[in-house]
């Protein structure tokens, strides 16, 4: 069964590439890093690419799987252990916001 996928915090699209290899279809990718977005454009030509989860209003209709790893810098010791409410790690709340819009 093919699923419609959205990739959040996609990086260079490793998760999405794997899911597409398994027969699923990526409908949207969201990534803020400009260098990573350049890789995504090359790997997924013509795919809708959004640059900031905070300005993404809703998930595409028919989304069945949301994939991605939210930024964890604030949780690690290298990031000062600010925790889940840190500037970057707190972006996981944006995933929950988007899930409520479906």
Task: Please list the active-site residues.
Answer: 72
Sign of CA dihedral 62, 65, 69, 71: positive
Sign of CA dihedral 83, 86, 91, 96: positive
**Local structure of residue 1 (DSSP, 8 states):** -
Distance between CA atoms of 36 and 14, rounded to whole angstroms? Answer: 11
Q: Are 53 and 94 in contact (CB under 8 A)?
A: yes
Distance between CA atoms of 39 and 100, rounded to whole angstroms? Answer: 30
């Amino acid at each position: 069964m093919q699923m419609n996928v959205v990739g959040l915090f996609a990086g260079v699209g490793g998760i999405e590439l794997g899911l597409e290899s398994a027969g699923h279809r990526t409908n949207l990718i969201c990534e803020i890093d400009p260098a990573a977005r350049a890789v995504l454009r090359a790997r997924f030509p013509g795919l809708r690419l959004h640059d900031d989860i905070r300005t993404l209003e809703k998930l595409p209709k028919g989304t069945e799987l949301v994939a991605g790893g939210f930024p964890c810098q604030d949780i690690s010791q290298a990031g000062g252990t600010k925790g889940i409410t840190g500037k970057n790690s707190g972006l996981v709340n944006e995933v929950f916001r988007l899930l409520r819009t479906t």
